Amino acid sequence: MTTEPIYLDHNATTPVAPEVADAMEPFLRDHFGNPSSSHALGRRARAAVDEARAEVARLIGATPDEIVFTSGGSEADNMAVFGVVAARAPGRRGVVTSAVEHPAVLEPCRVLERQGTPLTVLGVDPAGRLDLAAAADAIGPGTALVSVMHANNEVGTIQPIAELAELCRDRGAWLHTDAAQSVGKVPVDVETLGVDLLTVAAHKLYGPKGIGALYVRRGHEIPRLIHGAGHERGRRAGTENVLAIVGLGAAARLARAELDDRVAHARAMRDRLRARLGERFGDLVVHGDPERGLPNTLSVALPGVRAADLLAALGDQVAASPGAACHADGIAVSSVLTAMDVPLDVATGTVRLSVGRTTTGTDVDRAAAVIAAAVEAG
């Protein structure tokens, strides 16, 4: 009989919440209509899509017509990066981003750079936070887009997006933020942040994989990334994935209802985990800024340990992610830790532990004990 590992990798993906699975089930079995069809089955599917769109909008303080469903966070990021640059005036094509972005933003930016788009990649401080003064210097009259994530997936650092939005407005640049890691974990409101575009990924907030959304502020038009028929009001071709869209809507509804409790619970579990590890390892190195970052994320370097070896030793007892990957030709340190100037010996010992809505105190205590035993045995 196998025992499920203690799951401390919620920033990689979350389990589908039972409430979300229940909402999706009828659309897997019975409600199979195409939402573009005019008959009863089609109208039922269309109503479900519309309700899900409204739920996503409510969660982030938007209006339903500002929500475009995508195949996930990566497509939403690509749609934002390529779309904004294509939409702006010929003399305004520059892109500004940060060195700690997810590849779904950095790679499209690099593609544009190879095609001749001016690209500025901003560095970050040791906590992983960008310097607003450096951003102000980088954003000029030729800047089309600034794309900076709301919260970092590895160390949990939350960026000063509202302040960055003011800089962008003053200089005429559009601001996109990848909020895949923050939506459902902390309050996210597009008006408070002041962003023009924002990415959501369902599988980061207890919804299914393969579905996401891009918020596009009303009055901002960007060309479609996927061409075909006029789905999503002409903004993204392809028959809507009703099953997954319903799941995202249910996940958004659940997140809105639970958000305050989620924040408090995550912070309590993360701090408990940090305390338990601290009792066993006095010289822990904690990355990022836990007090002002995501409440569920603990990026920690264990003394004298290679994270890849530790996670291998943990086997199926604890599920987590390393800060560096070992290969035959050496060690590849995460680009985030590299941008934060984390020393190699510290980066190779870094483990990302991320708790979730169902993580218990018992889980945390057991995980800390298992990790300590593996380190002592190794």
Residue 1 domain-assigned? no
220 and 314 within one domain: no
Please enumerate in sequence order all residues whose Cβ is within 8 A of that of 110, keeping only pairs 6 or more positions apart, or say none: 119
Helix or strand or coil: residue 291? coil
Q: What is the CATH number of the domain that holds 36?
A: 3.40.640.10
CA angle, 315 then 321 then 324, to 5°:
110
155 and 77 within one domain: yes
85 and 179 within one domain: yes
242 and 318 within one domain: no
Residue 331 domain-assigned? yes
Q: What is the mean pLDDT of residues 53-75?
A: 98
169 and 135 within one domain: yes
Q: CA-CA distance, 207 to 349, in Å (whole number)? A: 31
| Structural domain boundaries, residue 236 | 18-255
369 and 273 within one domain: yes
100 and 172 within one domain: yes
Report residue 322: phi and psi, to 5°: -85, 165
Pick the last residue of a domain from 228, 255, 282: 255
10 and 42 within one domain: no
237 and 123 within one domain: yes
The alpha-helical segments, DSSP class H, found in 30-101 are: 40-60, 73-87
How many structural domains comprise the chain? 2
pLDDT at 2 over 60: no
Closest-CA residue to 54 (of 203, 262, 260, 248): 248
208 and 126 within one domain: yes
94 and 243 within one domain: yes
- Phi-psi region at 344: left, alpha or beta (left = phi > 0; alpha = psi -120 to 50): alpha
Do residues 271 and 95 lie in contact, with contact meaning Cβ atoms separated by under 8 Å? no
pLDDT at 103 over 90: yes
State residue 1's pLDDT score: 44
Q: What is the CATH number of the domain that holds 10?
A: 3.90.1150.10
Pick the last residue of a domain from 204, 229, 255: 255
State residue 228's pLDDT score: 84
Q: Which of 87, 237, 326, 346 is catalytic?
A: 326
pTM score, two decimals? 0.95
326 and 263 within one domain: yes
At 275-319, the pLDDT tens digits run 999 998 887 899 999 889 999 999 999 878 888 889 998 878 999
Q: Which of 165-179, 210-224, 328-342 has the lowest mean pLDDT?
A: 328-342
Pick the last residue of a domain from 227, 255, 283: 255
Active site residue 326: yes
